[in-house]
Structure 1
């Protein structure tokens, strides 16, 4: 069996989408549980942030698993308007011990950080790695809260 170096490299995707429903802990818990199970099996790590009507997610792992997961997420009826903000390769995982986390406005707020409202959260002009730092800080805060 041949080694495929491209498949062994670590890849990442950051995306934003709009939630179709209101903030609902039962729906969020379902997303979290399914994400943890699927991502663990696929070798993916990442963080999901919901703020107002928007989802922001950072996912990293093997390229094939990552693209398969992104395609599945794209079909999810609980959100719409999925837009990839950044993607590429990484040398190391940003969130190596985090399967998937979920926070809402109880953590750091992007709207406050960007001095905008949560209804107008426009991320296409934000540096993608600033978003990764934001999500990693939320993951760390959530990890220390439990």
Structure 2
């Protein structure tokens, strides 16, 4: 078996091209999960009011081209890469792609509400983005 290459983790945020229905979200997820399982990619996707935040993990040679494809995906725009780093272990290893459609009144959002704030000067902190994703991992 080939030596495992470097594990990478990429976190990004983006805006949905239109407000997604639950059906659209589940169809998209089914495709993502199938693809991720084939390429040993893990992660978590959160969706709230037209905003996506996603973490993807996998071997570098898989993740780099995958992220290029994600950036070109017509279903979202304004893709902002928050973090790209080498990781010793996967943090979402049990998820081909975990998913939560978050409602504004979700108590887990309490300390992260400003995260989805649409103000122009809003700076998104990469560590905070990871913490938000981890809150929904369980």
C-alpha distance 10-124 of structure 1, shift in aligned 2 (>3 A): farther
Any residues of structure 2 matched to 1:104-119 within 5 Å, and which?
A: 104-106=101-103, 107=106, 108-109=108-109, 112-116=110-114, 118-119=116-117
Displacement after TM superposition at 1:53 (Å): 2.0
Partner of 2:39: 42
In the TM superposition, structure 1's runs of 4+ consecutive aligned residues that sit over 4 Å from their partners are: none
Give the secondary structure class of the aligned counterpart of 1:69.
helix
Quote the residue 1:8 is aligned against: 5
CA gap of 1:115–1:100, structure 2 versus 1, over 3 A, is closer
How many corresponding residue pairs?
Answer: 133
TM-score by length of 2: 0.85
Residue 69 of structure 2, aligned match among 56, 68, 72: 72
Q: CA deviation at 1:123?
A: 6.4
Instruction: Report if the CA contact (8 A) 1:52-1:119 is conserved.
Output: no
> In the superposition, relative to structure 1, how do residues 135 and 24 fare at CA in structure 2: closer, same or farther (>3 Å)?
same
Instruction: Determine if contact 2:15/2:79 at 8 Å carries over to the other structure.
Output: yes
Measure the CA separation in 2 of the matches of 1:36 and 1:131: 21
Q: 1:117 Cα deviation (Å)?
A: 7.7
Counterpart mapping for 1:1-146 below 5 A: 8-106=5-103, 107=106, 108-109=108-109, 112-116=110-114, 118-120=116-118, 124-126=123-125, 128-140=126-138
**Is the 8 Å Cα contact of residues 28 and 102 (structure 1) preserved in structure 2?**
no
Supply the RMSD in Å over aligned alpha carbons: 2.2
Aligned equivalents of 1:95, 1:105: Cα separation in 2: 18
Q: Secondary structure at the match of 1:36?
A: helix
